[in-house]
């Protein structure tokens, strides 16, 4: 369990450092964006589904 948490932390740090170059990952077609004069609402619907599928497959492979 300790090794898994360390690996997860390292992956999150790497994703955070690479985020400026992975900017496309948060703006997939199907994400809901509502813009008004001084208000923006962003709901990453498709991004959340893709992340969920990727994490489900990853954990499935790890537990296999």
Considering the entire predicted model, what is its pTM?
0.59
Contact call for residues 53 and 32 (beta carbons, < 8 A): no
Contact call for residues 32 and 47 (beta carbons, < 8 A): no
Q: What confidence tens digit (pLDDT) does each residue in 1-50 have?
A: 788 888 888 888 888 788 777 666 667 788 888 999 999 998 888 888 98
Is 58 a domain residue? yes
Is 52 a domain residue? yes
Range of the domain at 58: 23-64
Is 46 a domain residue? yes
Task: Provide the number of structural domains found in the chain.
Answer: 1
Is 11 a domain residue? no
Sequence-separated contacts (24+) of 46-53 with Cβ below 8 Å:
none
């Amino acid at each position: 369990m300790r090794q898994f948490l360390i690996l997860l932390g390292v992956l999150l740090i790497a994703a955070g450092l690479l985020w400026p170059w992975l900017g496309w990952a948060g703006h997939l077609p199907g994400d809901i964006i509502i813009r008004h004069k001084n208000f923006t609402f962003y709901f990453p619907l498709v991004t959340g589904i893709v992340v969920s599928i990727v994490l489900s497959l990853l954990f499935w492979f790890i537990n296999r």
